[in-house]
Structure formats: structure tokens, C-alpha cells
Amino acid sequence: MIPFLHLGPVTLPTFGLMVALAMVAGYFVLARDLERRGLASRDSGLAETLVALPALAGIAGAKVYHVLETPRELWADPRGQIFSPFGFAWFGGLIAGLAAFLLLARRRKIPALAMLDAGAAAAALAYGIGRIGCLLSGDGDYGVATSLPWGMSFPNGLVPTAARVHPTPIYELIAACVIARVLWRMGARRRDAETEPRPPGEVFAMYLVLTGAARFAVEFIRINPRSFFGLTNAQAASVVSVALGAAVLWRARRAVFHSL
């Protein structure tokens, strides 16, 4: 694996490079989605703001959530845990990123659910690309040992292993690309082929359900410790994500039913 790129006197972490690439990819998808929904023109600058600030908030939130998951380790080495180049929890990033996203939407006076719908496909794709940073750096986000032909070892990773293990970041990239495609197509189609638009919040609700389900599934072969009823912390967060998504979806469709 390649945790760092050395360009003369400059050392670049590959995780950071992939996060930057994820932000660029998310920007292009978001800008196009905002435009097709009539929320902002492509040259308005809104997409850049909606990617940069929530992404930074998401990175900070992912780190905070991760260190708070293991208070004993945080107490033993607070500096090392907080400034470690690895250890980011996706649910913490989701919470902080969503909060920043909604604050920006409120400042622009754009309905929250409409904005969340527009950002769903971009968020799914960006998450998958960011996971390849975990693969390149070998930061411990891999899975359990496997004899499958695509198993990989990470002898030079930040969290090294000589065993051949499941490359779970690749699985998550594939799932994220599929989810992003599904959400994009949902956003392009009306519920009725000609007249009825999708209710606000429906695309975002499916984002919560699908990403939560995908993360729940991949955790069965991850090396994370079990805590809640035999589940990992990420699986418990995934259950919350799916439940919240189902509630938003029910409410959105109920609103359409009562408007008929």
C-alpha cells in the first residue's frame, strides 16, 4: 500500500488526496443536480460552498465520533488519538456534514429537504471515492482474513497486516457507485411519468436507507469490535440511519397521499 507519496521534500498522505478527489467528484454531481432541479445555476458558486464546508465539517465530525467511541484509548493518549492520520467514523462525518449542509441551505433560503435530495447522489459517490483513501493508506479499514483470489495484504499500511484480507473499501466503493446511480436516476424521474414530481425528501430518505444497509452488511466482514447486542458501533449507527430514512420516506409519501 502507499500511505504517503514523497515528492522531493513534500510528503502527501494518499488518504488526503482521495478525500480531495472525492470532494471534486461530489462537486460536479452536486452542481449538475442543483441545476436540473432549478435550485442554482452551475456558475452560482453554491455547489463549491456546499461541498467544501460540509466536507471539512464531516472530516472533523468523523474524527470526533471515532475518538469518542473509545474513551479509554482517548484518555490514555489524547494527543495521539486526536491527531492520528487514521481513525474516522462515517456516522460522525454524516452528522456533522449534514448539519453544515442544512445551515448553508437555510442561509440561502432553500427548503431543507429539497437541498438534501440534491446532495444525496453526490454524497454517496464522494463517500465511495474517499474509502479508496483508506485502502491506499492501509489504515485498518480492511476486513477479516480470506482465501478469495482478490484478497489483499497491507504489510506497509498504517495498520499493517501480512494476512490476505477482504479489501472492504473496494466493496464500499462499488456499493456507493451503485447507490449514487440509483439516487441520480430517482432524482431525474417523476413518480408519475408525466406529471407528478417526487415528494421532497424521498431521494434523501433512500440515501439514508441504502447507505445504512450497505454499511451494515460490510461490517460483518470488517475487523471492528462488537459492542451493541453483538453489533459493531458502525452497525448500530447504520440501524439508526435506516430507521431515520424509513421515517422520512414514510412521511414524504404520506404527505403526497394526503394531497391527492
Cα four-point dihedral sign 152, 208, 176, 148 = positive
Q: What is the pTM of this model?
A: 0.85
Residues 20 and 177: their CA atoms lie apart, in Å, by 17
Tens-digit pLDDT profile for residues 199-231: 899 999 999 999 999 999 999 999 888 877 788
Q: DSSP states of 197-245 as a string?
A: PPPTTHHHHHHHHHHHHHHHHHGGGB-PPEEETTEEHHHHHHHHHHHHH
Cα distances from 134 to residues 100, 161, 201, in angstroms, run 24, 14, 31
Q: What is the pLDDT of residue 81?
A: 67
For residue 44, give every residue at least 6 positions away whose Cβ sits within 8 Å of its Cβ, in sequence order, or none: 34
Provide the 8-state DSSP code for 86: -
Predicted pLDDT of residue 121: 96
Please give the grid coordinates belonging to residue 234: 458502525
Q: How confident is the model at residue 190, as a pLDDT? A: 57
Q: Are 168 and 142 in contact (CB under 8 A)?
A: yes
165 neighbors 154 (Cβ within 8 angstroms)? yes
Q: In the chain, what are the domain boundaries?
A: 4-259
pLDDT tens, position by position, for the chain (260 residues)? 687 888 888 888 888 899 899 999 999 999 999 999 889 888 888 999 999 888 888 888 887 877 777 677 767 677 766 666 556 676 788 888 889 989 998 998 989 999 999 999 999 999 999 999 889 988 888 999 999 999 999 998 888 999 999 999 999 999 999 999 999 999 886 555 555 667 899 999 999 999 999 999 999 999 888 877 788 888 998 999 999 999 999 988 886 555 54
Cell matching residue 24 = 471534486
